[in-house]
Amino acid sequence: MKTEPQLTIEDYQFFLEHVNGFVAIDTAGRVTYINKQICDFCRLDHDTAIGKHITELFPFSKMMDTVNFNQSESKTEFYFYEGRFSASTRHPMYKNNKLIGVAEYDIFEDMALVEAFVNHYINLDEELKYFKEESQRLLGAKYTIDTILGRSYTIRNLKEKLRHVARGDSTILITGETGTGKELIAHAIHNLSKRRLRNFIRINAAGIPESLAESELFGYDPGAFTGASKGGKKGKFELADKGSLFIDEINQMPISIQSKLLRVLQEKELDRVGGSKNIPIDVRLIAATNQDLNNLVSKGYFRKDLYYRLNVVEIHVPPLRERREDIPLLIEHFVEQCNNIFGKQVKKIDEAALEILLDYDWPGNVRELQNVIEK
């Protein structure tokens, strides 16, 4: 038969004396037990401490809160005392369901230890911040809605619309002249969406030769064509899985690729070049064009069905000349940007120069304004 080890009252006392600090009070606040360690630490006389009111010994003690506020759970408080840090945890003591007092034990630590811990935590926090920024940079969507500047009604309205449409999964077509900020907006949409922690993949339809466009977008399987890498390769769609794919200058997409693109958007699955199985994909497509797609459709350069599929939500960015109120703010921003890059201290633009900038038509829009300020 197993016998339970019997602990004597001395054994319990031995334990209580080895806790950093241990105090017990009755419900009137009188000290019923206090260990030697806390007395030595606070330079109190052990024998006269017994029976005193707790606040007489420790004016900041919160032990009576447990009695006064009927706290049935343990509470921890932090103190700094004599250059040391202490954490005190107090418990209500019950006997036959009746509160008979409160016991509190302390953990004192060297400030050096606490400091080391806090520094360690700060370092971790900084590292985390660094990795967050780094992952944002690697994932590619570096602009947010706050990078889109403008006080005009048009821009405020546009930002409102972005906040609204970014939430869903529908395909978004961004239209507008060159330099109006379409790329900026594509980034902002991704960063506003629930996909923001996943990849933001970009591809410019004008930049890829027709012969490569299909494998760039949809990937290829091993041995798909001569020169294909052994293991095959993921296309942009697969890379953007669970994230967003931004196809810039979609108006330049070769017509041969357009039908496959349409199929992928409709079926939500793709087959790689030379592949035999369908791969399911979950991608939010954001497309941009600086030409009127409707016009291209009527000329036969763009598939009508694809145009309708893309144009679920259209975000039109008006040219700068139609929102001149934004010019001063943009100038201020680009001057500041140039000051930072070139180490200059330019504060203001001459009134006469500003007049000219406000009157100009800006065919190259915000990009042109940026270049002019830089010059």
Ligand X SMILES: Nc1ncnc2c1ncn2[C@@H]1O[C@H](COP(=O)(O)OP(=O)(O)OP(=O)(O)O)[C@@H](O)[C@H]1O
DSSP H or E stretch at residue 41: helix 36-41
183 belongs to the binding site for ligand X (CB under 6 A): yes
Nearer to ligand X by C-beta: 184 or 224? 184
* Cα angle, residue 326 at apex, residues 348 and 314 outer, rounded to 5°: 150
Q: Which listed residue (25, 39, 63, 184) binds ligand X by CB under 6 A? A: 184
Is 19 in contact with 108 (CB distance < 8 Å)? no
Sheet holding 84-95, edge to edge: 31-34, 21-26, 98-109, 84-95, 75-81
The span of 105-113, 181-189, 232-240, 300-308 binding Mg ion (CB under 5 A) equals 181-189
Q: Is 366 in the site for ligand X (CB under 6 A)?
A: yes
Residue closer to ligand X (CB basis): 29 or 150: 150
For position 183 contacting Mg ion by CB under 5 A, the verdict is yes
Stretch in the footprint of ligand X (CB under 6 A) among 46-54, 102-110, 177-185, 259-267? 177-185
Q: Whose Cβ is closer to ligand X: residue 49's or residue 357's? A: 357
- The reply on whether position 290 binds ligand X by CB under 6 A is yes
On whether the CB atoms of residues 245 and 283 are closer than 8 A, the answer is yes
> To the nearest whole angstrom, how small is the minimum distance from the Cβ of residue 327 to ligand X?
11
Strands 172-176 vs 21-26: parallel, antiparallel or unpaired: unpaired
Stretch that binds ligand X, among 98-106, 109-117, 173-181, 227-235 (CB under 6 A): 173-181
DSSP, residue by residue, 309-322: HHTTEEEEE--GGG
Instruction: Give the count of beta carbons closer than 10 Å to the beta carbon of residue 372.
Output: 14
Beta strands in 234-278 (DSSP E): 244-248, 269-270
Helix (H, G, I), strand (E, B) or coil at 99: strand
Q: Which stretch binds ligand X (CB under 6 A): 61-69, 95-103, 107-115, 176-184?
A: 176-184
Among 182, 190, 236, 272, binds ligand X (CB under 6 A): 182
- 179 near ligand X (CB under 6 A): yes
Positions in the binding site for ligand X (CB under 6 A): 148-150, 176, 178-184, 290, 366-367, 370
